[in-house]
Amino acid sequence: MNRRYFGTDGVRGRVGQTPITPDFVLRLGYAAGEVLVRRARMRGSASKGGERPAVLIGKDTRISGYMLEASLEAGLSSAGVDVVLTGPLPTPAVAYLTRALRLQAGIVISASHNPFEDNGIKFFASDGAKLADEVELEIEAGLAHTMRCNESAKLGKARRMDDAAGRYIEFCKSTFPQNLDLRGMKIVVDCANGAAYHVAPHVLHELGADVEAIGVSPDGFNINDAVGATRPKALQEAVRKNDADLGIALDGDGDRLVMVDGEGTLYDGDQLLYVIAKARVRNGGVAGVAGTLMTNLALENALGKLGIPFARAKVGDRYVLEMLQSKRWQLGGENSGHIICLDKHTTGDGIVSALQVLSALRTQRSTLDAYTRELRLYPQVLINVRVQRGYDWQKKPAVLKAKQTAEKTLGRNGRVLLRASGTEPVLRVMVEGKDETKVRALAKTLAAAVEAGR
């Protein structure tokens, strides 16, 4: 069965347009509920008079979250599933609490780093990991069925969880070494007016840091608006203005991280992943690091010098996670700032990742600049070319020739990647290498070849 609604990270789209409408999300909740009830019966945990399956629902700060939360709650309840509502909470917090509370699933209402007009629904399994492909396909199949509400005696119940943020704060702090603290450090944290606005500042403050917080005044419309991990200029300015030691920026749902040093220099996910890996080499070794097709070639080379194996997965943190699990490695991530430390959490977590970086710097008495000095990222140019759906660049001779020419020109000192977007009719043309002028020219030539043959 082909996926119709589920992408690499759940169901996502523009609010008011299918699939992000109240009626569809109601049916999605019901379909997911039916799957959970059916699987519970197969395990024998929902026998006559037994416990109903229970699901945790968290959300970010988008105004549409209220509407979609109500639809999900109604759909799940009508299928006979109990619901626990947390209100605004980071995506990794939902993953953690789902596992900690022994619930059957967790659901996050969020479109991550997208503008407030978008929203999405993503699921976690009972172990706090992303929902398995076969379960997502089972839910999709259920969407084709007629929705039937249970009789009153078999409806699910709903309750609110008042201490969800506090529990997650304590969890985040537990991932930081007991013998370390952040006293004497001035840190600016940018929460993107998103789900971490009432969590991240408290974590850092309770570990001893002097905290300046920005992006902590959500109004339903300003999530990711000129703040957060995808708009780091606000953080860079705040770090300089407050004479801070460094800055931390999260995205709207708190699973993405970028950082800034005291000079205002930005460090992306590749550089932060390097910091964590390098520190772990000194503390006993790293079995390997998983990146993606977009991971900078310089990181792969730098890890090689540290004796750390490296492998590339498809773009998307779920594919990084799959590779880590298949290789039994613990560390991976994307240059966008999704970093996964499987010995700390089951999913990417911006706050936990920031604490791993801070732990490395405190232990080595170093700075971001000094600790990443051996890693100098290669210039990377990305051009998005709009194409018709179903466009196959591998069947375009002119594009193939342009790609081969670019690869020959770069040799071992660069890479060329053509990748179709999973969310929009766009072909992503990426070229990287040591010479920025050459890289930029090759990217433009290759993009022109795509445009000419679309």
Encoded tokens for 345: 């959490």
Label each residue of 319-342 as H, E or C: HHHHHHHHHCCCEEECCCCCEEEC
Query: Using DSSP, how many helices (H) and how many strands (E) does the chain show?
Result: 14, 18
Encoded tokens for 184: 């004497």
Encoded tokens for 207: 């570990």
DSSP state of 224: T
For the question of residue 71 being annotated catalytic, the response is no
* Whether 310 contacts 303, CB under 8 Å: yes
- Report H helices in 16-123: 22-43, 64-78, 91-100
Burial environment of residue 181 by CB neighbours within 10 A (0 to 12, 13 to 18, 19 or more): middle
Residues 236-243: contacts with CB under 8 Å, at least 24 apart:
236/260, 236/264, 236/266, 237/264, 238/188, 238/190, 238/212, 238/214, 239/188, 239/264, 240/264, 242/186, 242/188, 242/212, 243/186
CA distance 93 to 168: 6
Encoded tokens for 393: 């660049």
Which of 77, 78, 112, 336 is labelled catalytic?
112
Q: Is the peptide bond before 425 cis (omega within 30 degrees of 0)?
A: no
Encoded tokens for 141: 């199949």
Q: Which residues are catalytic?
A: 112
